[in-house]
Structure 1
Amino acid sequence: MRTCLTLLLAAVLCTEQARSLKCYTCTEQASNAQCLIPTDCADKYCLTTYASGGIGTKGGQRITKKCSPVCPTTNLNMGVAAISTTCCEHSLCNISGASSVKTSSVVMATGILASLTYILRIGL
């Protein structure tokens, strides 16, 4: 009996603790407040993608949060549209949106002005 208990204790001490990652998840939501659904994940990373686009008040933003086996970091800002992807490795670490990406008014105005100048020069 004593041998069985010793073997059982050794087996318990030698096993790794199961560690489950939890991430907030949502798909294409307009605000971060709608992206606070905790989900158990089998993957290694929590991923947050923030996309915005449009001109002035007609623009919009979309937030997607999910579990991911890889960490693809993206930060692309084209003035009229922008996308940012961030990832983290701790449970519920993706609570905030990747709000560091915003469309640039100066870049949009420069693009519009260059387009108008080109159109006027060719005489359309």
Structure 2
Amino acid sequence: MKAFLCTLLAAVLCVEQAASFWCYTCNDEPSNWNCVKATKCADTDKYCLTIYASGGIGDKKGQRITKKCSPVCPQTNLNLGVAAISTSCCEHSFCNLSGASSVKTSYLVMATGILASLIYSLRTGL
């Protein structure tokens, strides 16, 4: 009986986990509140991916969020002053509930660009 139980235990430990992997998904939404659709990922997917993009100035400023299943985790953190994009990945079911809100438009970079444009315009007499 002990040999049977040991064999059964070894077989269970060697079998790959067959549990489904789930992520929250949405495409190009303005708010994280719209990104709560649960989607079963493919067997090749290993990550829940969140892409956060923001851009614009003043009243024209906005943000977009995309969430999906992904087989790879692209590391993107790009901040151009008036536009920014960031990705975040996690490896557990439903781990991408919150948005990747760590990227913000840099007001210092925007102010520097505007100041440089103003100085250039004044020096050239435009």
For Structure 1 versus Structure 2, the TM-score category normalised by the shorter chain is: 0.7 to 0.9
Q: In the alignment, which residue of structure 2 is the partner of 1:90? A: 92
Q: In the alignment, which residue of structure 2 is the partner of 1:108? A: 110
Cα distance in 1, alignment partners of residues 108 and 92 from structure 2: 37
Cα distance in 2, alignment partners of residues 17 and 54 from structure 1: 45
The one-character-per-residue Cα deviations of 1:68-109 (angstroms, maximum 9, x if unpaired) are 110011111111001100101000000000001010112111
SS at match of 1:97: coil
Matched ranges for 1:37-116 at <5 A: 37-42=37-42, 43-116=45-118
SS at match of 2:88: strand
Cα distance in 2, alignment partners of residues 83 and 15 from structure 1: 40
Q: In the alignment, which residue of structure 2 is the partner of 1:15? A: 15
Deviating beyond 3 angstroms after TM superposition, the runs of 4 or more aligned structure 1 residues are 12-15
TM-score in terms of structure 1 length: 0.86
State the AA in 2 paired with 1:91.
Answer: S
Q: Aligned-pair RMSD on alpha carbons?
A: 1.8
Long gaps (5+) in structure 2: none
Cα distance in 2, alignment partners of residues 24 and 117 from structure 1: 47
Identity of aligned residues (%): 72
TM-score in terms of structure 2 length: 0.85
Long gaps (5+) in structure 1: 1-5
Matched length: 117
Cα distance in 2, alignment partners of residues 57 and 100 from structure 1: 21
Q: In the alignment, which residue of structure 2 is the partner of 1:119? A: 121
Cα distance in 1, alignment partners of residues 39 and 27 from structure 2: 13
Cα distance in 2, alignment partners of residues 116 and 28 from structure 1: 34
Q: CA deviation at 1:15?
A: 3.4
Q: In the alignment, which residue of structure 1 is the partner of 2:26? A: 26
